[in-house]
Amino acid sequence: MNTSNQTPYHLFCFVYLGFAQLSNKDFIEKEIDEIQKKIAVWMNLNPSNILEFNKIMDETINWYQSIKENERLESVLEIARSMNAIDSFTLENKKTFLSDIRDIAVADGRFNSDEKHLHDRIAKELGINMMTIDKNTRKKLGY
């Protein structure tokens, strides 16, 4: 995809798609529906921008699928890292974005360890130290 035509929505959609595919090894229809809902919210979707919305979705899916499978993870992390350069992408926006990722993860009814691990890696690239991975926190009893 030509980087001069990329919008923040392309970047958001790319990371969402990458998260959905990499954490489940395939696209699940419920996750794609959730991604579309999230991009629609970011774009404040209305009748005047529905064509732009469809164009962004199509371009981003084609862009993601054009990347070699073994390079997709690094691309997703690189795009997430690059989102820090968006002036209007505040800490609150980043928290919303990560919440969106969790919503995409649970669209199929579960938030598995692979999804949690990838979520945390994306959060790190955004500069947020967040742990959703279950840690074994067994404490010693007694003295």
> Residues 55-111: pLDDT tens digits?
999 999 999 999 999 999 999 999 999 999 999 999 999 999 999 999 999 998 889
Q: Are 18 and 67 spatial neighbours (Cβ–Cβ below 8 Å)?
A: no
- Please state which of the ranges 40-44, 67-71, 129-133 shows the lowest mean pLDDT: 129-133
pTM (2 decimals)?
Answer: 0.89
Give the model's pLDDT for residue 89.
96
pLDDT tens, 12-29?
Answer: 999 999 999 998 777 789
What does residue 6 show for φ and ψ, rounded to 5 degrees?
-70, 135
d(CA 80, CA 85): 10
CA distance 117 to 114: 5
